[in-house]
Amino acid sequence: MYLQKELYTKILEIAQQQSKCLDREDIEGFDKLVPEQKQLIDRVVNMGKRLDKKNEECKKIRDEIVRLNQQNIDRYEIMLDQVQNNLRNLRKHKQFGMAYKTQYNASFEEGIFFDKRSK
């Protein structure tokens, strides 16, 4: 039971750190914490039947983890969508900018035709 509470507490701490990363809009920091959190969750899953599912203290911590992780995932997805939209807009503006640049900055070898048969 002590190991279970310790693992839950560490998972909760990581979820709180991830939340702080999202507050700072630090997606890389968030991503760096994911493997550590996954490793701890795997340890909890491997405990299997040794988990005390009736312990109220562990249940409260687990519920807080679930709530915070869902909140973090929602915020992460919103931030990721914003980044993807910004990248699309940058590519679009770059594409339009290049179209005008090549059209107006290119030197063309044009000739002039003089009609010698004037009236």
Domain-wise residue ranges, the chain:
2-93
pLDDT of residue 113: 64
Distance CA 71, CA 100 (A): 44
pLDDT tens for 79-117 read 999 989 999 988 888 777 666 665 555 555 566 666 677
Distance CA 84, CA 74 (A): 15
Distance CA 50, CA 63 (A): 19
Q: For the residues 8-30, what does the mean pLDDT come to?
A: 94
- The model's confidence at residue 62, banded by pLDDT at 50, 70 and 90, is very high
Q: Please report, rounded to a whole number, the percentage of residues in the chain having pLDDT higher than 70.
A: 81
pLDDT tens for 71-81 read 999 999 999 99
Backbone angles phi, psi at 11, to 5 degrees: -65, -40
Closest CA to 73 of 18, 17, 23, 14: 18
